Structure 1
Amino acid sequence: MSSSNSVTVQILDKEYSIICPPEERSNLVSAARYLDGKMREIRSGGKVIGADRIAVMAALNITHDLLHRQDTPEISVNGSTREQVRDLLERVDLVLATDQDGSKG
């Protein structure tokens, strides 16, 4: 993994290194901060326990918000935005899958 293409982000007190094109770095960092905030909100609610479950709930909430905005006429989501969200969700899935080394978060 080339460190020049790698971005380290922190989500729910864990660091993740993600390969990312230089032109997408700021978007990735912003997405990670947003996700971290959503996951912290869910964790602080105290009803969901475990990083995996918190991540799924955050993903569902974010997706729900995105789809709700898509239905709102003045805010449209184009195909490129959908593809970016899909790509980010795939990256999150990959990181979560590779992080299943027996540690619980």
Structure 2
Amino acid sequence: MTEKNRITVGIYGQQYTIVGTDSANHIRHVASLVDEKMRDIRSQNPSLDTSKLAVLTAVNAVHDYLKLQEKIEILEKQLQQLKD
């Protein structure tokens, strides 16, 4: 059974306890990126309340994830063509 880490992190002025199997450093890094993204979005939209800010942060994160997935698929197809 994989050991779970329990890490308390700060995101946008709030403390959260995150439990996961990834390393403590990885969890802290993820939390730091979320905090950074929230602060960046807030600087561009100062009137947003925290709930809307959190949703926009999630939308941005999923958008970035999907774009990376598309790039990976393209690269995998190109790699397969080179192998063929």
Distance of 2:54 and 2:45 partners within structure 1: 14
Q: Which has the larger radius of gyration?
A: 2
Report deviation, 1:26.
1.8
State how many pairs are aligned.
Answer: 71
- For the pair 1:74 / 2:70, whether they are aligned, the reply is no
* Aligned equivalent of 1:6: 6
* Aligned equivalent of 1:16: 16
Provide Cα deviations, 1:67-104, integer angstroms capped at 9, x if missing partner.
Answer: 011111238xxxxxxxxxxxxxxxxxxxxxxxxxxxxx
Distance of 1:60 and 1:41 partners within structure 2: 14
Percent identity, aligned pairs only, is 31
Secondary structure class of the residue paired with 1:8: strand
Distance of 1:61 and 1:51 partners within structure 2: 15
Distance of 1:33 and 1:27 partners within structure 2: 10
Taking only aligned residues, the RMSD between alpha carbons, in angstroms, comes to: 2.1
* Aligned equivalent of 1:61: 60
Q: When the two structures are superposed, what TM-score results if normalisation uses the length of structure 2?
A: 0.71
Report deviation, 1:24.
2.9
Report deviation, 1:15.
1.0
Task: Give unmatched runs, 5+ long, in structure 2.
Answer: 77-84
The ranges of structure 1 where at least 4 consecutive aligned residues each deviate by more than 6 angstroms after the TM superposition are none
* Aligned equivalent of 1:49: 48
Task: Give unmatched runs, 5+ long, in structure 1.
Answer: 76-105
